[in-house]
Amino acid sequence: MPMRLALDPHFRPCEAQAGEEIYLNGIFEFNISRLLTYIGTSGKFHADPVLLAEMHYGGTSPGLNELTIAAADLSRPVILAEISPGRYNLIDGNHRVARARREGLPSILAYRVDCPEHVAFLTSVLAYGKYVEYWNSKVDDILETRPRRRQTPSMQPAIESVASDRQTREPSSR
């Protein structure tokens, strides 16, 4: 079950320094250089093969540089970030994915970075606030579409008993 994010009033953006790689996806801008450092030093991440067919948008942008695609190092894992509950988007490695697709490979190595772990790498307070709002709206959508648990006849006496206890303990509102 996905969890809602709480807005941290003390959030500090991961602002880009000169020479750092940034991934921009609308208002959501991630500091890829620092995320890669974190992945490499935390010991939490392992690169696993991911089917290219599961990456709907990766490596398909017409703006990708042909020379960079040809030189892309397929031994370097790409990064997939959980952008909404259960949905991972490619945020690093578009040229590698493009090359793998062109070479007909079925899969590519990838790190999956779950939410909220990647949130610390957003580069602005505005992007952070909008991301928390976006994520929570997706969680709410999931929770609203879940079937509600039906009360079975065996649960009814217990529910009535709890309700009765509350009424006797709560002061009246006169």
Beta strands in the chain (DSSP E): 22-25, 28-31, 48-51, 78-84, 87-92, 107-113
Q: Whose structure tokens read 């909220």?
A: 116
Answer yes or no: is 9 within a domain: no
Question: For residue 147, what pLDDT is reported?
Answer: 55
Which pLDDT belongs to residue 149?
52
How many domains does the chain divide into?
1
47 within a domain of the structure (yes/no): yes
Q: Does residue 10 lie in a domain region?
A: no
Pairwise pLDDT comparison (160 vs 4), residue with the higher score: 4
Which residues span the domain enclosing 89?
22-169
- What is the model's pLDDT at position 2? 86
Residue that is written with structure tokens 């079950």 in the block: 1
pLDDT value at residue 169? 40
Task: Supply the CATH number for residue 71's domain.
Answer: 3.90.1530
Confidence of residue 166 (pLDDT cuts 50, 70, 90): very low
Task: Indicate whether 7 belongs to any domain.
Answer: no
Residue 5 lies in a domain: no
Predicted local confidence at residue 26, as pLDDT:
87
Decide if 118 contacts 30 (C-beta within 8 A): yes
User: pLDDT digits over 33-45, tens only?
Assistant: 999 999 999 999 9
Whether 123 maps to a domain, the answer reads yes
The mean pLDDT of 54-81, rounded to a whole number, is 90
* 14 within some domain: no
* CA dist., res. 116 & res. 114, Å (int): 6
Higher pLDDT, 23 or 169: 23
Of the chain, the end-to-end C-alpha distance in Å amounts to: 41
Tell which residue, 11, 33, 3, 4, has the closest CA to residue 126. Answer: 11
Give 136's contacts (C-beta < 8 A, 6+ positions apart). 4, 5
Rounded to two decimals, the pTM is: 0.79
Would 118 be classed as within a structural domain?
A: yes
